[in-house]
Structure 1
């Protein structure tokens, strides 16, 4: 497990892999209470990081518009429909 201060520097993929590992440990039920609490807190931070990265990605996604000739004519924001 990486340091809590580094959560906001993790890539989406790295944060998701670590979050999945934490969920697996907690679901296994073989973790002492104090460690479970620490893992849960780490999981919450990782979930927040993944959520933030997904929202950022959604904000940057653009839909390609086609001209009358069927060729790409530009882009518009995804939510600009």
Structure 2
């Protein structure tokens, strides 16, 4: 599997589950008590989880819209949210 591909097990995770697992991995790595080989595996999985979370967040941002107001202050429609 290339670096850009995400394990199907990870892509099946909801954002909250992926983020929770990522936080657990970060905590274990920060403690520094994980053997080197396991650290490498955890780092790799953590990177995949991070990319998955990022993809889900970008997808959610694309769905968010901002409300456009008419001159009288009433809602006149919606437009894509500018996230830049």
TM-score range, shorter chain: 0.7 to 0.9
What TM-score do the two structures reach when normalised by structure 2?
A: 0.82
Runs of 5+ unmatched residues, structure 2: 1-6
**Residue in 2 that maps onto 1:23:** 26
- How many pairs were matched up? 77
Instruction: Give the superposed CA RMSD.
Output: 1.6
Q: List per-residue Cα deviations over 1:39-75 (Å, max 9, x = no partner).
A: 1110010000011011111111110012233221110
Runs of 5+ unmatched residues, structure 1: none
1:50 aligns with 2:61: no
Counterpart mapping for 1:5-44 below 5 A: 5-44=8-47
Moved over 6 A (4+): none
Is the partner of 1:24 in helix, strand or coil?
helix
Q: CA deviation at 1:14?
A: 1.1
What TM-score do the two structures reach when normalised by structure 1?
A: 0.85
